Structure 1
Amino acid sequence: MKIVRTPFLILLLLASISCQPKNKSGKQEVAQKEESDTHLETKLTSEQLQEYETAYFASGCFWCVEAIFESVKGVKEVYSGYSGGSEKNPTYEQVSYGRTHHAEAVEVYYDPDVISFMQLVQVFFGSHDPTTLNRQGPDRGTQYRSIAFYKNDKEKKIIQDYIDKLEAENVYGNRPIVTEVEPFEKFYKAEEYHQDYEKRNPNNSYIQNVSIPRLNRFKKNFKSYLKEDVH
C-alpha cells in the first residue's frame, strides 16, 4: 500500500495567488477566451461514460485536482464541479466566495479493471495535505476543504481504513487528518470554462505557480500510477 511522506504545498511565496476570483471579470473572461482558442481531445459521450465507475473527491482548487486525476492510468474522464452542500445548481461565484456549503470537487470516471477505488483513495491522499482545515495551498475557506465521498459501505470502509493506516504510521506527525468522509449525494458540474482548465490555460499565474508544481510533485511520487503518455 503506497504511502507518501513527502510534505506538500510550500506556501510562503504563494500567499498572493489564489484559485478564488479577484473580481467578476478578470479570471473568468480570460479563461473563456483561452478556452475557445485551444483544441483539446474529444470528450467521451454520456453513453460511453456509463461503462465506467465513478468516484468523488474534494481537495482544494478543482483545477489542480482534475489535472492530477486525469494523469492517472485507468481514469477515463474527470469533471470539475461542486459537491458536499445542499444548495441546488450552485455557481462558481457562489461557491468560490463561500456562499454555499459546497466544496470544489471532481467527478472521476475510471475503469476498475485498471485502477481500483483503493488506489484512487491513495491518489487523493497522496496529492494534497489532508491535515489543513478548510485550506489547501493558498486557497482558504470551507469550499476548499478535504472530502472523500463514498457511495456505499465498502467505499466508506476503504477510506476509513486508509486514514487509520496513515495515522497509525504517523505519516503526518502530530497533525491530525481532518478529511471529511461523507456519503455522496449530488455532483453539480462546473461551468464549461473550468473543465480542463490547466490544459487550456497553461500560462495562468495560478496554474504556473500552484497547479503545475502540485501536479509535478504527485507525478514524482506516483510514477507507477501514471498514464503512459504522461511525463
Structure 2
Amino acid sequence: MASPLSRVNVRADAWELLWSFAHRVLAVNFVLAVAGSPLMLALGTVATPWKYPLFFGLLALPLGPAAAAAFGYLAIDDARPPLSALIRLVWVTGRRSLLVASLTAGLAGVLLADLKVLAGAFPAAAPLLVVLLVLVLNAGLTGLVLAGTEPALRLRALLRLAVYTGVRAWPLSLLSLGVLTAVLIIVSQVPVAGLATVPGCALWVVHTNTNAQLARIRNPPAR
C-alpha cells in the first residue's frame, strides 16, 4: 500500500523554503535561550518576581542584543546561514542594541512606576501613561530591529526612526506587541516547549512587520 505522503505534491523550492525557515527559527531560539537562561533560572527560583523589578529587569537586558542579532540573522540573504553568523551578529550589534534595550527598559520602568502611583490619585492620567508605555515599547522593539539590520545607522537617527515608525504605522506595531505578549503567555505556561518553538517564529513576524512599516515610510503610496 502506498504511503499517503507519496500523494503530497510539493515543489522542491517549497521544501527548501520550509527547511530554511526551520533552520533560522531553531538558531534564533538557541541564542535567545542562552541569553535568557539567567532570567528563566531566577524566575523559577523566586516566587514573586514582580517585587524585584530592577533585578529581573537587569537579567532581561541580554535578550535585547540576542533579539537584535536574530533580526539581522533573519535578514541574511542565504538559504541556511550558519550559526556562527548569528553569534557574530550578537558581538557586532551588541553595544547599540544593549543601549536601546536599556533605554526602553528604563523608560518603561519609570512609566510603570508612575502608573502605579498616579492611577489611584489621578485616574485621568492612567490612559496617557498607558499610551506612552505602548509607544516606548513600540519604539524599543523597532529600534532592536534597526540595530540588527541597519548597522550604518547612527544611534540618534535610529531612535528617531524607531519612534516615527511606531507612530506612523501603529497597527503593525500593535500586532508585533500582541504576538510577543502571546509568546510570553505560552512560555510561562509551557516553558520548555514554548522556548523551543515560538520565540523564533514571533521574531520573524516582528521582523516582517517592521520591514513592511519601513517600506511604507520610505516609499509612501502615491495619492
TM class by shorter-chain length?
A: under 0.3
- Greater share of helix: 2
Kindly indicate which of the two structures has a greater share of residues assigned to strand. Answer: 1
Normalised by the size of structure 1, how large is the TM-score? 0.26
